[in-house]
Amino acid sequence: MQGNIYERELKSILQAEEKALEKISKRCGYETRANYLLLKKIPFLVLRAAGSFGIDLIAVRGEIAFPIEVKSSVHTTYLFSSTAGRAAFQAEKMEQMCRNSNLLPLYAFRLKDGSIDGDPWMVFTIDGMEFNEGRNRILYQKLPKIERTSAGNRVMHWENGLLLNKFVEYLFFLLTR
């Protein structure tokens, strides 16, 4: 149930809730704070998904919608194989659902317990997706992909992600031009 804390935190941030933006901004510098405050101009409707089929949240704004899976750890590496295959199965299921519906899947990786100064959130997407046109194609090209180990298992290295505040900045540019 610990992960639910971070699902709610991300939901509140993307919905531009004042308390959430204040809380995340306290630990960040001016530029990061300014990027998060852009959400006040482009807030998302964020729904929590029930069940454990690999999607925790769905964020919607105009013609953009993201199914989001939230992962958290005190370690900077998240191994999908470390949860007895459950996370790997969820990733495969999410990938298939997103392919079928032409949606861009997002993984939000949160470092726990103040283990880093600044923005604790990184975002990734699943490798091997195809978007031929539109904003999904542009965003997919910008987002770092979840990597694979030599054994073929998915892995996220926090430091290889895109900071959530930078993703927000890019979304703002994309949605307001």
The pLDDT value given to residue 126: 96
Least confident range of 12-26, 43-57, 161-175 = 43-57
Q: How far apart are CA 151 and CA 72, in angstroms?
A: 23
Render pLDDT for 144-161 as a digit per residue (tens, 0 to 9): 999 999 999 999 999 999
- Using a 10 angstrom Cβ sphere, with 0-12 exposed, 13-18 middle and 19 or more buried, the burial of residue 53 is middle
Q: How far apart are CA 108 and CA 138, in angstroms?
A: 18
The pLDDT value given to residue 85: 80
Backbone angles phi, psi at 15, to 5 degrees: -85, 0
Q: How confident is the model at residue 3 (pLDDT cuts 50, 70, 90)?
A: low
Chain centroid to CA 131: 18
Q: What is the mean pLDDT of residues 9-30?
A: 95
Report residue 100 as tokens: 């079928």
The pLDDT value given to residue 1: 46
Mean pLDDT across the chain: 92
The pLDDT value given to residue 117: 78
Sheet holding 154-157, edge to edge: 77-79, 154-157, 147-148
What share of the chain in percent tops pLDDT 70? 96
Out of 79-83, 96-100, 112-116, 129-133, the most confident range is 96-100
- Using a 10 angstrom Cβ sphere, with 0-12 exposed, 13-18 middle and 19 or more buried, the burial of residue 8 is middle
The pLDDT value given to residue 107: 98
Secondary structure, 3-state, 104-134: CCEEEEEECCCCCCCCCEEEEECCCCCCCCH
Is the distance from CB of 155 to CB of 149 less than 8 angstroms?
yes
Report residue 160 as tokens: 């290889």
Q: Which domains does the chain have, with CATH numbers?
A: 2-176 (3.40.1350.10)
Least confident range of 113-117, 127-131, 157-161 = 113-117
- Kindly tell me if the per-residue pLDDT of 177 is higher than 90: no
The pLDDT value given to residue 86: 86
The pLDDT value given to residue 140: 96
